[in-house]
Amino acid sequence: MARYSASQQQDDGSWYYGEHPTQRWIDNFHTGYNLCALKSIGRYAATSEFESNIQRGFEFYRNHFFREDGAPKYFHNRTYPIDVHSVAQSIITLMAFKDLAENSVGLAQTVFRWAVEHMWDENGYFYYRVLPLLKVKISYMRWSQAWMLLALSTLLMVDGEEGTTKYAEGAKSEK
């Protein structure tokens, strides 16, 4: 399965969501899943077979899925909708590959700050989605809150990255 996935990677490092012609979009969180899966398979199978796929894919990911202010884009070629799952998977992916690019931890922190500023409700949950003219303020336990909990715990688990922990604690006390 990993070899098949790697063979479906485009020359620019991206993957289509699906194989059917109606599924030819490239999105943030599925690209993140692919990257994290290939990394895990490589680690557990003790192989470096997918390293070039990971390198190309992570470069594409960093270069196409983030606005300058840290907002994670849903699609590689347009921003909206900004979905909380893209936020969460962005943090998870950036932290998983923090050794591939020196700005990965900083970008993950920027994504987190953006989410707190634009998707956090004072009642203690993250909004589902941001659109150009409105916010969808629904709290979905599995889609929104569970993934953000995983992302935030991933962000806090960075060994030796004291700034990450300080920022997360500071954001918690401010909100």
Residue recorded with tokens 């688990």: 157
pLDDT in tens, 116-141: 999 999 999 999 999 999 999 999 99
Handedness of CA 24, 27, 31, 33 (dihedral sign): negative
Range of the domain at 54: 2-174
Give CA–CA dist 53/40, Å, rounded.
Answer: 13
* Polymer length in residues for the chain: 175
| Tokens found for residue 3 | 């070899």
More confident residue, 19 or 159: 19
pLDDT computed for residue 161 by the predictor: 53
* Closest alpha carbon to 149 in 88, 62, 107: 88
pLDDT at residue 158 tops 90? no
Mean pLDDT across the chain, nearest whole number?
Answer: 91
Provide, rounded to the nearest whole percent, the portion of the chain with pLDDT above 70. 90
What is the pLDDT confidence band of residue 170, given thresholds at 50, 70 and 90?
A: very low
Give CA–CA dist 155/153, Å, rounded.
Answer: 5
Contact 95, 108 (CB under 8 A): yes
In the sheet that 135-136 helps form, which strands lie side by side, from edge to edge?
82-83, 129-130, 135-136
Domains in the chain, number: 1
CATH at residue 155: 1.50.10.10
pLDDT in tens, 84-122: 999 999 999 999 999 999 899 999 999 999 999 999 999
Non-local CB neighbours of 45 within 8 Å, separated by 6+ positions: 2
Contact 91, 108 (CB under 8 A): yes
- Which amino acid makes up residue 31? T
pLDDT at residue 47 tops 50? yes
Per DSSP, the residues of 1-18 read -HHHHHHT--TTS---S-
